[in-house]
């Protein structure tokens, strides 16, 4: 069995078929895509691509072998090297610079932090606050919604931030796709070869 708790916090860069960065996914999801032949692992040093069988053959060792633990995930019989970059087998498109509103997008744009008190919020406990309350004409949009912890959202209630005496950490705005790809993600050094200058900054 894979230690899902450990790999759930780490991300893998996803490239489309023509090697443009389009997203990041957790390690477990990246391995699933490779296993189902929807993606291949890219070796950042050599740019060689691996399917599932070749990745196991080249990058897996016995479960009792001595390795740098952080670089591998352990299964019942093997330790498998974690991928850092994968490329999708079929998708060659590139998302628009603008992205549709979503709760997940707000979470990523706001780096998982309550925009009132700064505390980090787990996705399962997240709430979305309408800066201008819906009851007063506020819409559900990038520019009127922020991530809030439950305590701050409850405290602000049906008021504006000024009325509640609660300052926003930043003015909410619509992010670009580039901004969401790497927002709140610990970037591997190896990713820089696949990112443009705007994304690396």
Residue 58 has φ and ψ, to the nearest 5°, of -95, -30
pLDDT at 184: 66
Render pLDDT for 129-175 as a digit per residue (tens, 0 to 9).
Answer: 999 999 999 999 999 999 999 999 999 999 999 999 999 999 999 98
φ, ψ at 130 (rounded to 5°): -85, 115
Taking the C-alpha atoms of residue 192 and residue 14, their distance in angstroms, rounded to an integer, is 13
Min mean pLDDT across 28-32, 75-79, 103-107, 176-180 is at 176-180
Sign of CA dihedral 17, 20, 25, 28: positive
Measure the CA dihedral 110/113/118/124, to 10°. Answer: 150
pLDDT tens-digit map of 97-113: 567 888 988 998 898 99
Q: 64 φ, ψ to 5°?
A: -100, 5
d(CA 45, CA 145): 41
Q: Is the pLDDT of residue 189 over 80?
A: yes
- pTM here is 0.62
Q: Identify the pLDDT of residue 2.
A: 42
For 1-19, letters b (16+ CB in 10 Å) and e give eeeeeebeebbbbbbbeee
State yes or no: pLDDT of 187 exceeds 50: yes
For residue 115, how many C-alpha atoms fall within 13 Å in the half-sphere facing its CB?
Answer: 25
Of 43 and 100, which is predicted with more confidence?
43
Q: State pLDDT tens for residues 73-91.
A: 887 788 888 999 999 998 8
Chain-centre distance of CA 30, in angstroms? 12
């Amino acid at each position: 069995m894979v230690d899902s708790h450990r790999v759930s916090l780490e991300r893998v860069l996803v490239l489309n078929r023509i090697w443009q960065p389009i997203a990041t996914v957790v390690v477990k999801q990246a391995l699933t895509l490779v296993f189902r032949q929807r993606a291949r692992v890219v070796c950042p040093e050599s740019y060689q691509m691996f399917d599932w069988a070749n990745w196991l053959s080249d990058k897996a060792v016995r479960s009792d072998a001595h390795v740098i633990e952080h670089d591998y995930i352990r299964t019942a019989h093997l330790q498998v090297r974690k991928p850092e970059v994968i490329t999708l087998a079929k998708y060659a498109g590139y998302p628009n610079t603008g992205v549709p509103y979503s709760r997940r997008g707000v979470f990523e744009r706001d780096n998982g932090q309550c925009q009132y008190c700064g505390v980090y919020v787990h996705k399962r406990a997240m709430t979305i606050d309408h800066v201008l309350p819906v009851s007063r004409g506020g819409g559900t949009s990038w520019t009127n919604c922020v991530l809030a912890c439950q305590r701050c959202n409850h405290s602000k209630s049906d008021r504006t931030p000024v009325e509640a005496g609660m300052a926003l950490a930043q003015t909410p705005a619509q992010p670009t796709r580039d901004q969401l790809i790497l927002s709140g993600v610990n970037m591997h050094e190896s990713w820089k070869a696949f990112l443009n200058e705007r994304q690396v900054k």
